[in-house]
Structure 1
Amino acid sequence: MKRSSLSGQIADIDLKLLRIFKTVVECGGFSAAEVELNIGRSAISRQMSDLETRLDMHLCQRGRSGFQLTEHGRLVYEATQELLVDLEKFRANVNAVHSRLIGELTLGLTDNMLTDPNSPVVDVLGAFHQQEPEVKINLQVAAPNEVERAVIEGRFNIGIVPQHHELPGLEYYDLYHETSLFYCGHNHPLFNTPAARLSLNTISQYDFIAPGYTHSVMLKEQFPQLKACATSYQVEGIATLILSGQYVGFLPKHYAALWHDKQLIRALLPDTLSYQVPFKIIVRRDSRPNLLRLALLKAFKESDITPL
């Protein structure tokens, strides 16, 4: 039997249902989407059923076996992505004929940037909202590689990441530098060792935590004496291992300040064991003009703060 095609105009309720469906797919199921959508699972299930009725299609399998898209669901998800991108392009184009900016802008940040006094992000976003109060900022925090991928795919308009490489699909703009020092915990044998007795050769005898993110390659080249005995992909994971008193490793200076001020960790050979990572603004190369993105990018490029 031939299915009936989508009839009538696409209404606001249809767009709402499609956005809910997109969120459920990207969260991997109803349970995970509850927090993202801020509505209960039963309400999500009901609205998904309404969408399936509206489209006359079975979009997903849900039950004890987990959440899984049907073939129709996969096609509707891809069409939904295209539709929402086109709607945002339409809104951006309409903005061009107005003297004020209206719409939503998605900014992707790397975690653990907030405590860095060199970062202008807080000041820029505050000033930008005062200047453009009708622009809604959708702020997302993710790992650097996830931010890069989201910008390339068009899900994020702008990203801010520590730069360890340059991808051909992105444009990079300078923002600030983050300084990292080498630390041990207060229970570590090196914590009370006099500075005069510390050397790179001595420190290299102890278990080192290698960051799982990209600049571990740079550390191997710059400090080949350090031998990794543990790995973490998150700054908080490295801090946890350092505080255990069994490992030494690098932490951003601003992030480590809390424990350093409480004398729970110590920086070792700060004049030697340190490095800087540039943080960059990234946008997708060859993307279509977007006034919202251009306005925020301009605000970041013109930011002028005095490092503390």
Structure 2
Amino acid sequence: MRAVSDFDLRLFTVFRTVVDCGGLSASQSILDMSLSNISTHLANLEKRVGFKVCRRGRSGFGLTPGGTELYSSITELFESIDEFRSKTWLTKKRIGRELSLGIVDGLISEHQFKLQRAIHKLGLIDDDILIRIDVLSPDKLKSSLANGDVDFIVGPTSIASESVVIKEAFHERMTLFCSAQHALADKKTQKDKIFNQDDKFGFVSRGYLRESLQPAFIPNFETAAIVHSMEAAAMLILSGKYIGYLPDHYAKTWEDLNEMVRIMPDVTSHVVPFGLMYRRDHKLPLPAKLLLEYLKPSIAPTENSQPAGGLIAAI
């Protein structure tokens, strides 16, 4: 084989992604290519290297001995390229790149997740990195990631698609709250009042959450307000007219001031898994890689991460 060209790197990327996904069909969504197009790329690769790299067809997908060795060599090549790029970046006086991330609102009071500390460490390396943080609702986070507007996001893992790498970070407990002036504030009478068919309670619904999160077993809740941020929900709850869900860490300030009260937490609380997510096909800029590295202490020991074979696809 002659000198490696950009065309060869593209063929290597397609081949590696197909192998990581376990076949042509499984790699379609990641590569955003048709089966015939992927097959053509593999055929062109075999012409370039001069031997058959895989078996594909009705019998299923499998690597030939030559294909196995080629896959190992391609992996080493891409790792070398990635290491070279990282070293080149680090030797510059300035990193000089933009870091874009999206987060859900209210994250600042989540002490399990040390985003502020990680950003501080990043600033110690280079204080000229342009950081853009967008505080968005989960549905907007999902679309921003899909459109490539952000490098990675921090939010509920339920919004992730198959094309996203997930690193679970923490679990956030959500509880139903009311204000200290609300009719349900007296914990001794909460149960009687909440199941009293004659009473109706205005419920704050967050527009981006499925209505199934509203306790279905409590018939006298009525959606009386729709919000798209944690702060708006808290303001309505504090008004004394509405009840609604808030993360325990976010509501703690008002709990400590005796301005908010939990409503039957043993029954109404639920846990939401949160994580760091980035597109499998997105080549993360060095500042994003560094920030992810600094966030490792916040990442749960067991990660719900998919194989990251497609991360090199942007070469």
Q: Figure out how many residues of one structure are paired with residues of the other and give that number.
A: 213
Render the CA deviation track for 1:107-126: whole Å, top value 9, x for unaligned.
22222111122222112222
2:100 to 78, 83, 106: 106
Distance change >3 Å, CA 133–CA 166, structure 1 → 2:
same
Aligned-partner SS, 1:114 = helix
5+ long unaligned stretches in structure 2: 1-82, 301-315
1:222 to 1:192, Cα distance in 2 relative to 1, 3 A: closer
Are residues 191 and 114 of structure 1, via their aligned partners in 2, closer, same or farther at CA, if it must alter by over 3 Å?
Answer: same
**Secondary structure of 1:99's match?**
helix
Q: 1:198 to 1:266 in 2, by over 3 A?
A: farther
Secondary structure of the residue aligned to 1:164 is: helix
CA deviation vs aligned residue, 1:137-175 (integer Å, no higher than 9, x gap): 222322222222222222211211123332233222111
* Structure 1 position 137 matched with structure 2 position 134: no
Instruction: Note if contact 2:205-2:211 (Cα within 8 Å) is conserved in structure 1.
Output: no
**1:296 aligned partner:** 291
Out of 269, 276, 279, the residue aligned to residue 271 of structure 2 is 276
Q: C-alpha distance in 2, partners of 1:202/1:180? A: 24
Structure 2 distance, partners of 1:289, 1:109, is 17
Alignment of 1:55-204 (within 5 A): 96-100=87-91, 102=95, 103-133=97-127, 135-192=129-186, 194=188, 197-198=191-192, 201-202=195-196
Does the aligned pair in 1 maintain the 2:191–2:264 contact within 8 Å? no
- Asked whether the 8 Å contact 2:102–2:154 carries over to 1, the reply is yes
Structure 1 unaligned regions, length at least 5: 1-91
Q: Give the number of the structure with larger relative contact order, counting CA–CA contacts within 8 Å between residues 6 or more apart.
A: 2
1:100–1:132 Cα contact (<8 Å) kept:
no
Q: Equivalent residues in 2 for 1:170-249 (5 A)?
A: 170-192=164-186, 194=188, 197-198=191-192, 201-202=195-196, 205-214=200-209, 216-220=210-214, 223=217, 225=219, 226-249=221-244
Identity across the alignment (%)? 24
Query: In structure 2, do the counterparts of structure 1 residues 224 and 286 end up closer, same or farther at CA, with 3 Å as the change threshold?
Result: farther
**Alpha-carbon RMSD:** 3.0
What TM-score, normalized by structure 1, do the two folds share?
0.60
Q: TM-score, normalised by structure 2?
A: 0.58
Higher alpha-carbon deviation: 165-174 or 112-121: 165-174
SS at match of 1:207: strand
Instruction: Indicate the SS of the match to 2:88.
Output: coil
Q: C-alpha deviations, 1:199-238, integer Å up to 9, x for none?
A: 7524984222222122x34414765644423322221222
